[in-house]
């Protein structure tokens, strides 16, 4: 009898811990989300909020596209209680393997702002289709190339509560489009980012002020490009480097901004 009880206990523990392992694996799994526009296929990531009816965020990745880095950033915002949809700007299966490839791909969209805006809009529409997403409370945020995309989404006249650019390009190729911005804008910028010229920075502020946009530009001293990306290393002489202090500060500012716009 004792042996039978011991055997039952062992089996119970085996199935119990096996179930925990499966649950943990499912929790850590990438929530791949396919979507379509005509004949064009895309594959983003969707991270649902723990609360049922919650605001939604479209996260546009850096120029490397849908990667582990994009997933990491999405999970940070998911933990704040938001539904997060990682947009696939390039299309299903189009995943750059080097900075050179990423530069060529992102350059295509930077030179065709309408196409870039359309791809972000597609992701916004897909996010709104998801269960329990509050379609009246949507924001777009992005990193580097994605920061540029977030700003372009606002310039397109999209009905958003807000947009956030983390170390994004701030150039304004069509300043007149600033009149279409309906949302609040938060630009988190490395003060010594060599990839954003003084001319582009001035043009951005002029656009925001001319069109009376509710915006905030935060410049972090000592920070260059990619200050939220640990994979960028810590050598600021390369122009792109991770900054742990600014990473925390910028995330905290973004969190406060989202609380403000969704209240």
Those residues whose C-beta lies under 8 Å from the C-beta of residue 24, and which sit 6 or more positions away, are: none
Is residue 176 a contact partner of residue 203, using CB atoms and an 8 Å limit? no
CATH class of residue range 31-261: alpha beta
Q: Residue ranges per domain, the chain?
A: 1-30, 31-261
Return the closest-CA partner of residue 184 out of 163, 209, 167, 206: 163
- Per-residue pLDDT tens digits for 176-186: 999 999 999 99
**pLDDT over 70 at 26, yes or no:** no
pLDDT digits (tens, 9 = 90+) for 133-165: 999 999 999 999 999 999 999 999 999 999 999
Distance separating the N- and C-terminal Cα atoms of the chain: 62
pTM more than 0.75: yes
Say what the alpha-carbon torsion angle 13, 18, 19, 25 is, to the nearest 10 degrees.
150
Query: Does residue 10 surpass a pLDDT of 90?
Result: no
Whole-angstrom distance, CA of residue 136 vs CA of residue 56: 9
Is the pLDDT at 11 greater than 50? The verdict is no
Element at 30 (helix H, strand E) = none
User: What pLDDT, in 10s, does the model give residues 77-117?
Assistant: 999 999 999 999 999 999 999 999 999 999 999 999 999 99
Q: Where are the alpha helices (DSSP H) in the chain?
A: 2-28, 68-78, 99-110, 113-129, 145-155, 198-210, 244-261
What span, in angstroms and rounded, lies between the C-alpha atoms of 233 and 151? 26
The 10s digit of each residue's pLDDT in 181-203 is 999 999 999 999 999 999 999 99
According to the model, what pLDDT value does residue 29 have?
41
């Amino acid at each position: 009898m004792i042996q039978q009880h011991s055997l039952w206990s062992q089996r119970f523990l085996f199935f119990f811990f096996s179930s925990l392992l499966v649950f943990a694996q499912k929790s850590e799994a990438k929530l791949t989300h396919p979507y379509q526009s005509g004949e064009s296929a895309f594959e983003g990531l969707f991270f649902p909020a723990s609360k049922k009816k919650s605001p939604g965020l479209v996260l546009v990745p850096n120029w490397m596209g849908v990667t582990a880095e994009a997933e990491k950033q999405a999970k940070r915002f998911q933990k704040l209680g938001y539904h997060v949809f990682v947009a696939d700007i390039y299309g299903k299966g189009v995943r750059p393997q080097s900075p050179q490839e990423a530069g060529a791909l992102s350059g295509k969209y930077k030179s065709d702002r309408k196409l870039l805006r359309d791809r972000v809009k597609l992701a916004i529409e897909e996010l709104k289709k998801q269960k329990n997403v509050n379609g009246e409370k949507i924001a777009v945020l992005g990193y580097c190339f994605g920061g540029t995309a977030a700003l372009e989404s606002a310039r397109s006249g999209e009905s958003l509560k807000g947009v956030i650019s983390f170390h994004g390009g701030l150039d304004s190729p069509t300043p007149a489009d600033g009149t279409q911005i309906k949302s609040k804008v938060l630009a988190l910028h490395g003060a010594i980012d060599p990839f954003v010229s003084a001319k582009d920075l001035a043009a951005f502020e002029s656009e925001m002020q001319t069109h009376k946009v509710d915006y905030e530009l935060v410049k972090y001293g000592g920070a260059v490009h990619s200050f939220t990306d640990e994979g960028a290393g810590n050598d600021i002489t390369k122009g792109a480097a991770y900054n742990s202090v600014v990473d925390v500060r910028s995330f905290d500012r973004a969190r406060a901004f989202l609380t403000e716009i969704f209240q």
